[in-house]
Structure 1
Amino acid sequence: MSDRDDKDMLAAEFVLGTLDRDERDRVHRQRQHDSELEQRIGEWESRLAPLADEIQDLTPGPDLLPLIQQRIKAIEDAARGDTASDAPPSTASVTPLHRRLAFWKAATGLSSAAAVILAAVLLAQPSPSTSESNFVAVFQQDDRQPAFMLSVNLEQRRLHVRPVSAEPLPDRSYQLWIKHDDLGSAPRSVGVLDDDLSLDQAALRDYEPELLKHATFGISVEPPGGSPTGQPTGPAIHGYLYPTEPSGGQRL
């Protein structure tokens, strides 16, 4: 993926509100002297603004926010070693909860982070650097913030894996899989993500574009170096490719 594509993705995340505070501050500073980034941010704001007119207002119950805040407080207390908290999860879960809460506020009116990003992808207007060969998949579970985004150029058979909320795991590896009837009943490994959660951009070079367009992709958590069995052994999240232009045709 080119620097131009990376900048466009960064602008989209900035507008969607999926960046944490430090990342958002960095983008805010960068846009002051980066005219291309400023233009991209403006384009994404224009693309997403009409979505709000199509969504009916939904008022949450009065007890929802206090319950969320109570749960976050319980996690923070547990992280500080307060034994009075119930079922303390790991310290690492505190920051994602705060980030998710901020994202819910930013994405009011849409049911999940995937809905926001997918709507943006499907409604995005063409730019000079895009073509009908460009597709994107979002990997998330339930209504959680997306863990990864996968972009694929079918013409060049090149991919780009971008972590959104996912972070490197100690003593674990992420592995990308592809599944299609033409490949048999079992998923096939595309590759193990590197320490920086990237993957060889040519990993899909042996697959036909039409197969890629209709395949199911998955990312699983595996032992270091990847699955020892040749099949997914850990928790997995799945995604499908969607065109980045309306003219590219939607997946049925």
Structure 2
Amino acid sequence: MTDTPDPDRGAVGGPRLSDEDRALAAEYVLHLLGPDERSEFEARLGFSAALRAEVQVWEAHFADIAADEIKPVAPQPSAKPLLMRGLFPETARPSPGFWQRVGLWRGLTFAGFGAAAVLGGLLFTQPQMPAPLLVGEISAEDDSLRLLVLYDGADGTLRITRTDGVSPPGRVLELWAIPPDEAPVSLGLLDASAQGTTQIPPALRGAADELVLAISDEPPGGSPTGAPTGTVRAIGRLAGL
């Protein structure tokens, strides 16, 4: 079993975290924070490499404890159908191949069950979403800017979680949807928060998985021309689960 992380350690060579922040990181990993505290902490995670490093330390610490002190336990045969019924009512049940594709039940142990619980929690926090449900990542080639996106085909909502990166000084980040062989369509500016939502225009929703999503840096207020004018800093696409 590993030792408890050193309280005098500074994360990734940066300024030393306070004892309170280190405790919050541990409580976050153990899912002990309330909804408001968790949301506030996750917003800070998007812009603090030191906090993200601290979370990784605690994740490794608790994973080692589980590996050393908890024997693997196979889930009961009834666990899968119970979770399926809870996550997906009959009107929104995924195809039988869904779980095979994500590999959730393959080799599941007690230690890995926590990850499955997190997935279930994320799904429970979202409204019931009929197909298509698409996910993707918009990222820079050097990972200096990264966003995770979740697309709900029922109403065209694109949920955005920024995990790394900020706009250059004096510039703003603008999100674009680029259909095949067509001009880019602005999906709006990204604000300073780590999370947000936008809408994909109705005309583009029928082929959302064919769109290229891109982020450019623009002058304050956004592109003055209706097309990207600055550097394209990240690109990505949507795909089914």
TM bucket by the smaller chain? 0.3 to 0.5
Larger-Rg structure? 2
Bigger share in strand: 2
Normalised TM-score (structure 2): 0.48
**TM-score, normalising length: structure 1:** 0.46
